[in-house]
Amino acid sequence: MQVFKVFFKVLWKGHKVPIIIYTVIFLVLAFMFAYMGSDGEKMFEQTELNICFFDEDNSAESRSLIDFIGENNNVVSLENDNDVIIDALYYKRVDCVLTIKKGYSENLASGNTDKLFEMRKMHSGYSEILMDIFLEKYISAVSAYISAGENLSDAVKNTETALSEKAEINFADFNENDSSVNYTVMIYFRYLSYILLAVLINTLSDIIIEMNKKDMRFRTDCSGIRSSEYTFLIFAGSIVFVLLIWFVFMLVGMYFTDGIYSGKMWFAVLNSLIFAVVSAAIAIFISCFSIGGNVITFMTQIISLGMSFLCGVFVDQSLLSEGVLNASRFLPAYWYVKVNDIILNGSAFDASEIISYLFIECGFAGVFILLTILLRKYKYKFS
């Protein structure tokens, strides 16, 4: 029990400030990350494009077109300056910059629909095609009404009336029976892997290295306590510490679920607990090497950021290349994120798949614990 108490004494005396600072900073980050994404809706909502218009024609028809497009999109006004437009397109503040050319209404009335608009483009993508489809639909409808003998203003009016008729769109919610899972809480859980790795490696490794320092270790070695008991108590101390940190993050996570976790969220909770154990096992493994505080900080950055970038914590796994994903299979965070994605994407929910991934994570913890034991034995033998 003495060693157990000393573990927490060392923790409290030398590490309370970093632990509190890290936990608070990471909680702030977690909140930021969680609120960066928006919650998925349960009904179909059309994607609104940000469109900037420059109306060189300035006719009733061109204004009518802008108003009509503005009903389902955001019309953004920008200064007609190339640098301003470049900035807006580069940072995606606008999706399209469209100029309605002079003579638009006259050309439309006379049936000359060639190059009525100028689109200033930077990135290609679906937004452009979407705008293209819409304008094509609009212009061909106006032209059709004109060819049927209507004048321009009637043709525009009829087109807009016809276009206002919406298609029947149904939203298939495959996850409808489980309201406990929401996007924000799952984003919080996803970033939690980075936070657990960073907090636990930074603090736990440091504490254990402190405990293994010559003065303290020699004092313990010449006491009556057995070596195995010492190791056991260090493990016990680490487990209690890890559970405490994990528990704090779970309590905060409840803020996003408006109360106690329920349904599939328990899988996410279990997943995070196992990942906390994996992180602790990595931290204990690192502490086998007698390294200084600065090196621990470096290793924390490299391991936590590296795993997060490679395994799909910061960037969706769907956006990572095949090669990166193949390599990241050998890292625990990959399986953690996979479990999270299955829970979030309720459509492909499969409990047995989740359980097999959780076992893989446990396997990583087992490997690190085994390596720690082997390394310690090796070091003890040669010391």
290-319: contacts with other proteins (CB under 8 A): 294, 298, 301-302, 305-306, 309-310, 314-315, 319
Answer yes or no: are the C-beta atoms of 191 and 29 closer than 8 Å.
yes
Q: What type of residue is 139?
A: I
User: Which region among 80-88, 190-198, 246-254, 372-380 touches other proteins (by CB under 8 A)?
Assistant: 80-88
CA distance 133 to 165: 16
Q: Which stretch binds other proteins (CB under 8 A): 51-59, 114-122, 223-231, 374-382?
A: 114-122
Which among 54-62, 124-132, 200-208, 282-290 is the span making contact with other proteins, rule CB under 8 A? 124-132
Separation CA 235–CA 3 (nearest Å): 10
Q: Largest alpha-carbon pair distance within the chain?
A: 105
Segment contacting other proteins (CB under 8 A): 4-12, 117-125, 280-288, 351-359? 117-125
Q: Which is nearer to other proteins, 36 or 60 (CB)?
A: 36
Please, which residues have CB within 8 angstroms of residue 219's CB and are 6 or more apart in sequence?
Answer: none
Phi (first) and psi of residue 53, to 5 degrees = -110, 140
Give the binding range for other proteins (CB under 8 A) out of 128-136, 222-230, 261-269, 362-370.
Answer: 128-136
Which of 153, 130, 2, 169 shows the shortest CA–CA distance to 63? 153
Q: Does residue number 77 form part of the binding site for other proteins (CB under 8 A)?
A: no
Q: Beta-carbon neighbour count of residue 58 at 10 Å?
A: 11
- To the nearest whole angstrom, how small is the minimum distance from the Cβ of residue 64 to other proteins? 16
Interface with other proteins, residue 81, by CB under 8 A: no
How far is the C-alpha of 116 from the C-alpha of 378, rounded, in Å?
78
Q: What is the DSSP letter of 75?
A: E
Q: Tell me: does residue 17 bind other proteins (CB under 8 A).
A: no
The CA dihedral of 174, 178, 184, 188, to the nearest 10 degrees, is: -110
What is the x/- site pattern for other proteins, positions 167-206, by CB under 8 A? xxxxxxxx--------------------------------
* Nearest to other proteins of 269, 324 (CB atom): 324
Say whether residue 45 binds other proteins (CB under 8 A): yes
Among 91, 330, 380, 382, binds other proteins (CB under 8 A): 91
> At residue 103, what are phi and psi to the nearest 5 degrees?
90, 10
Contact pick of 67, 71, 136, 154 for other proteins (by CB under 8 A): 136
By the rule CB under 8 A, 145 interacts with other proteins: yes
45, amino acid identity:
E
Told to check if 321 binds other proteins by CB under 8 A, we report yes
Give least dist CB 133 to other proteins, A. 5
Number of residues that bind other proteins (CB under 8 A): 82
Instruction: State which residue, 136 or 221, has the beta carbon closest to other proteins.
Output: 136
The two structure tokens encoding residue 295 = 């090196």
Does position 14 interact with other proteins (CB under 8 A)? The reply is no
Give SS3 for 252: helix
- Burial label, 265 (beta-carbon count in 10 A; 0-12, 13-18, 19+): buried
Angle, CA of 308, 245 and 18, to the nearest 5°: 80
Residues 328-357 that bind other proteins (CB under 8 A): 345, 347-348
Considering only 147, 153, 179, 326, the residue that binds other proteins (CB under 8 A) is 147
